[in-house]
Each structure stands twice: as structure tokens, then as C-alpha cells.
């Protein structure tokens, strides 16, 4: 007999569990109530880790499809806008060393590659300013939209900064009240197996056995199902990404009307880097570092020096980072999402977007029956391996382009044996041809498109040889794109409100619903 897949059991809450539940339930809303169920089992005793307060623009689409009000999200999750990241002191370590990785594509990106033209002209503007408006918008402390812009619409592309401790309960209420997700507060004490190696049920202390057809492991670093029950090992990548510890602080603003940066600030240190993320009520500030290159005490001194007097009296929360991912993400009828699947240092906010993309595949390719589940699982695993590999490459790119030699940490990061083979090949390729959208970035839903590589490469001083005949061929397109970017920059900087001003108005009055 064909065994239909109708009962989806998500073990673990937090951002991973509730985003996954919401994405699946929203996609299959018409089936809920007629035999299809989404159940989330969550321990009442497990705190939310809440490292990932930065997101990608994909979250706008995710929340919209779940039917979440953007106004409610801002009001309840201490949210702010994120328009990209500014990297300080990564190239030379000097005080004026910095560049943006914005969320807007370069002007007319699908028509002309502006990078060679910018390189050939030795433009005094930074690459970001020469090709898009977002760096200037961030410099001026502006928001990416106005009160007249509808929910989830944008004048400049944006993501969010959020309070992860408030985000998960917000999602929980929405999933349970609007999407029909069944919520069980209980501790899992045993995983029960079928003879064929699938999971049959989980036995809980408070609610007995909960059976399912597909189990999603969102139990975090414990990996209760994917490792504990299914025996899938973890693949370290600490030979590539050295940072293995974070010290985090929540820093209150000096006054309620203090400006809020609408971008993540990532400032390089002697053996790692410091994130600085602004939400409505506070800044989340943390030092990510390599314990092989610096002691916890030294790292905390660097963190406190960065924050200044506002750090007095604040405790630093220590978080261990194990960079890497599962050797297999979906085995049998169990799939890992979130920290149970893996974790990488939060340099480019990849944690939440990986949750979204994984849950989206599960929801859209939901196996109709157990007989086809292994086919879907194989596709999922291929996509997941590709994405994790490309994220590792992209994070390493920030380190290998450095010209810093002031510590063993920076010197070790440029050792050839620590650079993945694919990244080495791309760096060689990019010496002669600039990355562009139709080149090596050929997968749907690339986490980091070719534009992201351009912003980092040319923000950190990388040089690509220029081909004069190719420049002449599309010079008219490049000239037009530069003029259009200059006009767009002037218009946006003149018309956008201050970041905190817009947030305050959203909280008070609400955005126009879609």
C-alpha cells in the first residue's frame, strides 16, 4: 500500500522551528483540517540561542506568504531595517578602511557589467557608490522606504534586524492562531524507530507519543533526530573558517532618539571581527574570534574597547561556534533545518536565510508518499550541499582578500591550504574577468549572487584586468547606467526619511497593508 505523507512533526522551536512550521503550513493551508497536519513539539525548558539577528531580503517574501503583517512584525519584534553590511578594517586595518556590501544590485545589472568600466576609469567613488545608491543612503542614516510605501514593498532593497528572542514567540502566535499549527510543549525523551530505519514517533515526557510521516529536526546543536537517531555525522570546516567563539552583549542606546544604523557594521579585530546590529531598543554587539589565536579575556577587552563606556556593567555571553554542516541533511524521513543542519560564523547573516530556503524546498516539494521521499531527499541534499559550500566560499573570500599582516590570524587566513579549491579557481578567473550574473552563478536562488562577489572584491581592492575592446562595445550602456545611478542616488537621498523616524511612525501608525 502507498504510504501518504500527511503528518509533519517539527521537533524544536525557536526561529528555525517556527519559520519552518509557518512556511509549510502556509503552503499547505488548504489541506490543513482535511487530514494534513503540522505539529511542532517544543521543550518548555530550552532557551532561544538568538545569535542570528540579521536577515536577508528573502524574509520579506517569507513573512508575506505566511500572511504576517509587517507592521505587527515591527511592533512586536523590535525590528529595524537592514540595507546591507559595512565592513571596517578588513583590508588594511586602517581607521579609514571600509566598504559596503549593499542589498541593491548594481544599476542595470542585467544589461551591463559596470565593474570593468569602474576599474578602467580609476573612479574616485567607491565601487558601491559608483554603481548603486545604497551606500549613500546608509551613510545618511536613511530608511529604505517611506510611509507611503506599502508593506514589504521597497524603494531600496532591504532585509531586517530583529530581536530573535521576540521573533520566535511572534511566529508561534501567528502559526497557531492563523495557520493551524498544533503546538505541543513537551520534552522529547526517546525517538522510536520503524524497522526500515525511519522515525516512527517521538516519546515525550508530558504528552506521550507523537507519530509522524516526516520529521523535521530543529533541535539546534543537540541534533536530537538527525544525529542522535539517524546517526548522521557533522562535517567540520574549521580548517577554512577559524572563528570558533563569540562573546555577545546587548547594549542599550544612550537616549531613546539615538540614530539606528540601517546596516550591519562588521569591524575586523586582531583575531576576528565585531558585529554591531541596531534594533529599536538596543544594539546587539558581539566579538567573533578564533580561540586558537586569542584568549577569551583578550577578546573581551577588544569588545569592551569597541563599545566604550556603554559596556560598563554589561556581561558578555559566551557562545561556542562549531563551523560546519551535516554530511547529509535529509535521511530517511528526517530532515535537519537550522542549527541541527549546521552553523557558520554570522559574518553575512546566512543562518536565517538557510532556514527559509530549506523550509521552502520541503514545503514546495513535499513528498506525496513515502515511496517518493528518497527522490525528494536526494534533490534536497544536492541543493543544500551546494548552498553550504558556496556560503563557506563567500565567507572565506572576506579573509583571503585582506592585506593585513599584523597578527597570525590574518596571516593564517591567506595560507593557500586554508582556501577551498573552488574559491582558488574563481580568484584566478576573476583576475581576468569580472564576475557577472550569467557566469558561474547558475543556480536558482543563489544565496550570494555575482553582485555580492563584486561588492566584496572591489570593496577590498581586488583588481581585474580590463579588456579595452569589450569596454568600447558597451560604453554607451555603462555611461547611461552611471547617469541613472547618479540620478537615483540624488532622488532617494532627498526623499527618504531618517531610519528611526520611519520606524517610530510605523510603530505608531502602521504601514499600508498590501
Question: In the predicted model, what is the mean pLDDT of residues 314-340?
Answer: 96
Q: Are residues 223 and 264 in the same domain?
A: no
The CA distance from 93 to 404, in Å, is: 6
Q: Are residues 401 and 488 in the same domain?
A: yes
What HEC string does 222-274 produce?
Answer: HCHHHHHHCCCCEEECCCCCCCCEEEEEEEECCCCCCCCCCCEEEEECCCEEE
Does 502 fall in a domain?
Answer: no
pLDDT of 442 above 60: no
Q: Are residues 37 and 136 in the same domain?
A: no
Q: Are residues 489 and 364 in the same domain?
A: no
pLDDT of 18 above 90: yes
Specify the pLDDT at position 53: 87
Question: In the predicted model, what is the mean pLDDT of residues 301-308?
Answer: 98
Q: Are residues 399 and 490 in the same domain?
A: yes
Confidence of residue 46 (pLDDT cuts 50, 70, 90): confident
Does 125 fall in a domain?
Answer: yes
pLDDT of 57 above 60: yes
The CA distance from 101 to 284, in Å, is: 19
Q: Are residues 36 and 182 in the same domain?
A: yes
The CA distance from 240 to 396, in Å, is: 7
Does 405 fall in a domain?
Answer: yes
pLDDT of 226 above 90: yes
Does 508 fall in a domain?
Answer: no
Q: Are residues 406 and 490 in the same domain?
A: yes
Angle, helices 450-459 vs 114-121, to 10°: value is 10
Confidence of residue 123 (pLDDT cuts 50, 70, 90): confident
Strand pairing category for 37-42 and 182-185: parallel
Percent of residues, the chain, with pLDDT higher than 70: 97
**Phi, psi torsion values for 97, nearest 5 degrees:** -85, 115
Specify the pLDDT at position 443: 56
Specify the pLDDT at position 45: 82
Does 501 fall in a domain?
Answer: no
Confidence of residue 325 (pLDDT cuts 50, 70, 90): very high
Question: In the predicted model, what is the mean pLDDT of residues 451-456?
Answer: 97
- Model confidence pLDDT, tens digit, residues 246-255: 999 999 999 9
Q: Are residues 174 and 139 in the same domain?
A: no
The CA distance from 112 to 449, in Å, is: 15
- Cell numbers 534536497: residue: 380
Q: What is the largest CA-CA distance in the chain?
A: 72
Q: Are residues 344 and 224 in the same domain?
A: yes
Question: In the predicted model, what is the mean pLDDT of residues 210-228?
Answer: 97
Q: Are residues 328 and 310 in the same domain?
A: no
Does 71 fall in a domain?
Answer: no
The CA distance from 137 to 131, in Å, is: 13
Nearest-10 Cα torsion for 383, 385, 387, 390 = -140
Specify the pLDDT at position 444: 56
From 280, 267, 346, 265, select the one nearest 84 (Cα to Cα).
265
Specify the pLDDT at position 277: 97
Residues whose CB falls within 8 Å of the CB of residue 231, separated by 6 or more in sequence, listed in order: none
Does 62 fall in a domain?
Answer: no
Among the candidates 297, 320, 343, a domain finishes at 320
Specify the pLDDT at position 157: 98
Specify the pLDDT at position 50: 55
In CATH, what number is assigned to the domain containing residue 222? 3.50.50.60
Does 185 fall in a domain?
Answer: yes
Question: When comparing pLDDT for 45 and 166, which is higher?
Answer: 166
Specify the pLDDT at position 285: 96
Q: Are residues 290 and 365 in the same domain?
A: no
Compute the radius of gyration of the chain from its Cα atoms. 23
pLDDT of 507 above 70: yes
Specify the pLDDT at position 175: 98
Burial class (CB in 10 A: 0-12, 13-18, 19+), 133: buried
Domain hosting 397: range is 84-156+391-495
Among the candidates 272, 302, 320, a domain finishes at 320
Question: In the predicted model, what is the mean pLDDT of residues 443-451?
Answer: 77
Q: Structure pTM? A: 0.96
Among the candidates 335, 354, 389, a domain finishes at 389
Grid coordinates representing 429 are 578567473
Q: Are residues 296 and 374 in the same domain?
A: no
Question: In the predicted model, what is the mean pLDDT of residues 5-34?
Answer: 96
Specify the pLDDT at position 438: 63
Confidence of residue 122 (pLDDT cuts 50, 70, 90): confident
Confidence of residue 513 (pLDDT cuts 50, 70, 90): confident
Q: How many structural domains comprise the chain?
A: 3
Question: In the predicted model, what is the mean pLDDT of residues 66-81?
Answer: 98
The CA distance from 37 to 28, in Å, is: 9
Confidence of residue 49 (pLDDT cuts 50, 70, 90): low
Query: Is the distance from CB of 25 to CB of 18 less than 8 angstroms?
Result: no
**Catalytic residue set:** 82
From 456, 451, 351, 343, select the one nearest 398 (Cα to Cα).
456
Specify the pLDDT at position 440: 55
pLDDT of 163 above 90: yes
Query: Is the distance from CB of 160 to CB of 78 less than 8 angstroms?
Result: no
Question: In the predicted model, what is the mean pLDDT of residues 443-465?
Answer: 89
CA distances from 310 to 252, 264, 265, 285 (A): 8, 19, 17, 11
Amino acid at each position: 500500500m502507498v504510504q501518504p505523507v500527511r503528518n509533519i512533526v517539527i521537533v524544536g522551536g525557536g526561529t528555525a522551528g517556527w519559520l519552518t512550521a509557518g512556511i509549510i503550513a502556509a503552503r499547505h493551508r488548504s489541506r490543513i483540517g482535511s487530514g494534513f497536519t503540522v505539529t511542532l513539539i517544543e521543550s518548555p525548558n530550552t532557551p532561544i540561542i538568538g545569535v542570528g539577528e540579521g536577515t536577508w531580503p528573502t524574509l520579506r517574501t517569507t513573512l508575506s506568504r505566511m500572511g504576517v503583517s509587517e507592521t505587527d512584525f515591527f511592533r512586536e519584534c523590535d525590528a529595524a531595517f537592514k540595507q546591507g553590511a559595512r565592513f571596517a578594517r578588513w583590508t588594511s586595518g586602517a581607521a579609514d578602511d571600509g566598504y559596503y556590501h549593499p542589498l541593491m544590485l548594481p544599476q542595470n545589472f542585467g544589461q551591463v557589467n559596470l565593474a570593468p568600466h569602474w576599474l578602467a576609469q580609476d573612479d574616485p567613488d567607491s565601487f558601491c557608490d559608483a554603481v548603486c545608491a545604497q551606500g549613500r543612503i546608509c551613510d545618511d542614516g536613511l530608511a529604505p522606504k517611506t510611509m507611503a510605501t506599502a508593506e514589504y514593498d521597497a524603494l531600496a532593497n532591504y532585509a531586517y534586524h530583529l530581536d530573535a528572542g521576540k521573533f520566535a514567540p511572534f511566529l508561534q502566535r501567528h502559526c497557531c492562531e492563523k495557520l493551524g499549527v498544533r503546538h505541543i510543549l513537551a520534552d522529547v525523551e526517546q525517538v522510536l524507530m520503524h524497522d526500515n530505519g525511519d522515525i516512527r514517533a517521538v516519546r515525550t515526557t508530558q504528552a506521550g507519543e507523537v507519530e509522524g510521516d516526516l520529521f523535521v529536526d530543529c533541535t539546534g546543536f543537540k541534533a536530537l533526530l538527525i544525529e542522535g537517531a539517524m546517526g548522521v555525522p557533522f562535517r567540520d570546516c574549521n580548517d577554512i573558517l577559524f572563528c570558533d567563539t563569540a562573546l555577545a552583549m546587548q547594549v542599550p542606546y544612550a537616549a531613546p532618539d539615538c540614530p539606528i544604523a540601517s546596516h550591519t557594521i562588521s569591524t575586523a579585530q586582531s583575531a576576528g571581527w565585531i558585529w554591531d546590529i541596531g534594533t529599536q531598543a538596543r544594539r546587539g554587539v558581539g566579538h567573533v574570534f578564533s580561540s586558537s589565536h586569542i584568549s577569551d579575556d583578550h577578546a573581551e577587552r577588544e569588545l569592551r574597547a569597541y563599545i566604550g563606556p556603554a559596556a560598563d556593567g554589561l556581561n558578555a555571553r559566551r557562545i561556542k561556534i562549531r563551523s560546519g554542516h551535516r554530511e547529509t541533511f535529509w535521511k530517511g524521513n528526517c530532515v535537519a533545518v537550522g542549527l541541527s543542519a549546521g552553523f557558520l560564523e554570522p559574518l553575512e547573516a546566512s543562518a536565517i536565510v538557510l532556514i527559509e530556503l530549506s523550509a521552502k524546498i520541503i514545503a514546495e516539494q513535499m513528498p506525496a508518499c513515502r515511496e517518493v521521499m528518497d527522490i525528494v531527499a536526494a534533490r534536497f541534499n544536492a541543493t543544500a550541499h551546494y548552498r553550504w559550500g558556496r556560503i563557506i566560499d563567500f565567507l572565506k573570500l572576506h579573509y583571503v582578500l585582506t592585506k593585513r599582516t599584523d597578527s597570525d590570524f590574518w596571516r593564517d587566513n591567506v595560507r593557500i591550504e586554508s582556501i577551498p579549491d573552488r574559491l582558488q579557481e574563481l580568484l584566478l578567473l576573476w583576475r581576468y574577468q569580472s564576475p557577472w550574473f550569467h557566469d558561474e552563478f547558475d543556480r536558482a536562488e543563489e544565496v550570494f549572487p555575482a553582485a555580492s562577489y563584486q561588492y566584496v572584491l572591489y570593496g577590498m581592492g581586488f583588481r581585474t584586468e580590463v579588456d579595452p575592446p569589450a569596454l568600447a562595445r558597451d560604453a554607451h550602456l555603462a555611461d547611461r547606467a552611471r547617469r541613472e545611478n547618479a540620478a537615483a542616488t540624488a532622488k532617494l537621498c532627498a526623499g527618504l526619511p531618517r531610519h528611526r523616524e520611519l520606524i517610530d511612525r510605523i510603530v505608531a501608525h502602521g504601514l499600508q497593508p498590501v
